[in-house]
Amino acid sequence: GDSVTQMEGPVTLSEEAFLTINCTYTATGYPSLFWYVQYPGEGLQLLLKATKADDKGSNKGFEATYRKETTSFHLEKGSVQVSDSAVYFCALSDPFAGGTSYGKLTFGQGTILTVHP
Amino acid sequence: DADVTQTPRNRITKTGKRIMLECSQTKGHDRMYWYRQDPGLGLRLIYYSFDVKDINKGEISDGYSVSRQAQAKFSLSLESAIPNQTALYFCATAEGSGEAKNIQYFGAGTRLSVL
């Protein structure tokens, strides 16, 4: 079945540092890929997405490129801020999946990011 | 007002008690989901519903039941709560068709403690 693996956390950075959170996936079809962010005390919200190979999703200075050849969707930001401290989830959904995968998101385990001033 | 509202936000209960978590949405979405979040495990799907008459078990449905009372309401029940059901519970919604059906919108969560 489909699966998502994120880099082990937690990640601690100083403000203005470069961020990379690795995400790789396993899927039988052609999934759409997502990054969700969960700020303290809140639910998850969509950060960015990509629906086909070589697509780049971007939002709030974050970027991720859909790499089919390496089955990866790594999240990057050039200069993090304290306000970026949150839990980040990589996820996939296969719009063409049948059976038990239909219409569902598969999440990675989440990566806690803490940014210090 | 939030588009996806969960009540209560926090709940403490005792082993063996029946408890209901409620979710309502104003987004007009057909699809609704219940997840639980445990540290280091990400989100795991409990139940999902594609419309009022279509309810499906997720990967960890044992010990839980759901009711889709209307398009806007989806409740999760723990018939006899046990301590390992202590977790953060999320409701989510999504559109029923098109590419947008893969984008889910989450409530703020219910933190449940079973003593």
B52-101 pLDDT per residue, tens? 899 999 989 999 999 999 999 999 999 999 999 999 999 999 886 666 66
Whether B42 and A89 lie within 8 Å, measured CB to CB: yes
CB pairs under 8 A between A and B: 53
How distant is the Cα of A31 from the closest Cα of chain B, in angstroms? 10
Residue among B91, B80, B81, B108 nearest B31 (CA): B91
Q: What angle do CA B12, A43, B10 make, to 5 degrees?
A: 15
Chain B CB contacts of A93 under 8 Å are 102
Q: What angle do CA A33, A35, A38 make, to 5 degrees?
A: 150
Confidence tier at A30 by pLDDT (50, 70, 90): confident
Chain A CB contacts of B58 under 8 Å are 104
Kindly state the tokens that stand for B1.
């007002």
Q: Is the pLDDT of residue A2 over 90?
A: no
Average pLDDT, chain A: 90
CA dist., res. B56 & res. B50, Å (int): 8
B110 touching chain A per CB within 8 A = no
Whether A95 and B106 lie within 8 Å, measured CB to CB: no
